Amino acid sequence: MKRPILLYLAICINIFFAACGGNTSLNESEALSVIADYLEAKPEYKTISFKFGEIKFKGEKDQDDLKKYTTLEESGMISMSLLEEKKRFLSKDSNYVYRITLTEKSAPLVISQSGDKAKVKAVNYILDDEKPVNFIKMHEKSVKITVTLKREETEFYPFDKDKTSNSEFITKTYRLKLKKDDGWIVASE
């Protein structure tokens, strides 16, 4: 009589531990949520070097660059003050010297700065939750997921000299691991 009770008790305990052992299945919305949380903490972006401080613009030659800076000033990212204007003798050309400073509004896009150069975000990559997610199950507690990240240009994008990107998006693969206490997380790359 003791044997069937012990067998029944052992089966119940196994079922209980299997049910409480953590759900190892992962669906598309859960995967997108895990990756979105990860991207919020560690965003994907492309940086450029941005020059500021005292900058000299030479008449017609630098008009395109001056327009880029004035557009940034209109958006509130920088402030410009004219320090010097020199008219060339017998010419319609002029030389301008501006003092360009970064404003508080540009702070979220500035990664680092030193002297008269700053490393700024030119492109942010954000999760495109409308595109399909590609799952590659490696183990019971490990999955590789490929997602699409949309390109979002910042105000500093016109200063990017390397605009060779032929795509409005990138695909990125993340490895997710199932942790006992934390659930699914993005494994360090």
- Band of residue 90 on the pLDDT scale cut at 50, 70, 90: low
| Average pLDDT of the segment spanning 61-72 | 91
Domain ranges of the chain: 23-186
The string of pLDDT tens digits covering residues 133-163 is 887 877 778 888 889 999 999 999 999 887 6
pLDDT digits (tens, 9 = 90+) for 93-103: 788 899 999 99
Buried b (16+ CB within 10 A) or exposed e, 84-111: eeeeeeeeeeeebebebebeeebeebbe
Please name the helix (run of DSSP H) or strand (run of DSSP E) that holds residue 12, with its range, or none: helix 2-20
pLDDT at 115 over 50: yes
pTM: 0.75
11 pLDDT tier (thresholds 50, 70, 90) = low
Query: Considering the chain, what percentage of its residues have pLDDT values greater than 70?
Result: 82
Residue 72 phi/psi, 5° resolution?
-65, -40
Residue 184 to residue 23: CA distance in whole angstroms: 10
Average pLDDT, the chain: 83
